[in-house]
Structure 1
């Protein structure tokens, strides 16, 4: 979890603390809501640790945010166009998973589009989380091979395949190949319960 070379680490630290405080949550409150330890949240807020994708997703869900909303800067005025050079990119320090937020932030849409590059043999697990229950997403594979595990069912995706799935029940992204997998995640945050 240590990642002293990540230029986003201080941004993540400051953003997490700001969003937690704006939500009126204490460290203990966010820890309880997210299932992430108080000590880890504190270390992330101080810039002493970089969260994994799974850990950050749990924190964001507890704050009522998607990962894209978390990385969206709140100071620039909303624009329907976001240039590639302005799309926030983040790398998971544990798996090498690289995530780029495609959607223009703060447009009032319930849909987020994210591009992900998952290194060869990498696996990213998103455990079940009540705050995400009822949300859905599409996973559209552009390059490589991807195994998606939802509960007991594993789906093999190849180039061009698209999988529709619930989010809150937990899932695993796994690249079983020896080359990167590149895919889009289209997340619909409207809750269908």
Structure 2
């Protein structure tokens, strides 16, 4: 939690933003941001998504920066942590960075490393969990969601998709989105994204 707290503060200060400016850009209250920066509160997936969007970083990039991942300081492309075996590009499962949302139990494991041209993350969404993201979180990336196990109820703006194993959805123009597991069993899905202007 301390590294995320320090990273949020660093990202805010390097832009010359006050707490009020970040609160306005993210929709997260000044009080909450202050508690996060002091290490008194751990951000949820929802809050992390809002802060990342305000900084124009992906969630994976912000987490990688917090972990001090090699190559993560480059904001022009995707980032991710975890050790890579020298010479082979092999990333061991036990070495991959994983982050857990303290509110929902949502778990995010970074699959790709900082030099790979796309970000791939594995998400485990517990039964009954619901994680919304603002439209701003999708403004600077192209993204695909691929369900691996279980069922995912995906709200794409006003459209709702019921997705099962093997189903994918390619995201279009930025809009508010919700990842929800309305079942009584866990859901596992992958998120693949690249940074850049939509064609």
TM-score band by shorter chain is: 0.7 to 0.9
1:167: how far off? 6.8
Residue matched to 2:150: 144
Residue in 2 that maps onto 1:154: 160
Whether the aligned pair in 1 keeps the contact of 2:56 and 2:140 (CA below 8 Å) is no
Q: CA deviation at 1:108?
A: 6.9
1:36 aligned counterpart, secondary structure = coil
Shift of 1:154: 0.8
- Structure 2: 5+ residue runs without aligned partners? 73-83
**Equivalent in 106, 109, 112 of residue 119 of structure 2:** 112
CA offset at residue 56 of structure 1?
A: 0.7
Q: Give aligned pairs, total.
A: 182
Q: CA deviation at 1:166?
A: 3.3
* C-alpha contact 1:99 1:114 (8 A) present in aligned 2: yes
Instruction: Decide whether the 8 Å contact of 2:125 with 2:181 is kept in 1.
Output: yes
Structure 1 unaligned spans of 5+:
1-8
Cα contact 1:81–1:104 (8 A) shared by 2: no
Cα deviation, 1:78-118, whole Å, max 9, x if unaligned, reads: 7655432332211111111111111202x273x21111000
The alignment's TM-score, normalised by the length of structure 2, stands at 0.83
Distance 1:164 1:77 in 2: 27
Q: Is the Cα contact below 8 Å between 1:137 and 1:167 reproduced in 2? A: no
- 1:167–1:42: structure 2 CA closer, same or farther, 3 Å change rule? farther
CA contact under 8 A between 2:26 and 2:54: conserved in structure 1?
yes
For the Cα contact (< 8 Å) 2:124–2:187, is it kept in 1? yes
What is the TM-score when the length of structure 1 is the normalising length?
Answer: 0.85
Partner of 2:77: none
How far apart are the structure 2 equivalents of 1:65 and 1:36? 16
Question: Pick from 63, 72, 85: which aligns with 2:55?
Answer: 63
Structure 2: distance between partners of 1:71 and 1:84 = 17
| 1:29 aligned residue (15, 21, 36) | 21
Partners of 2:150 and 2:122 lie apart in 1 by 14
Q: In the TM superposition, what is the alpha-carbon distance from 1:13 to its structure 2 partner?
A: 0.9
2:36 aligned residue (44, 64, 76): 44
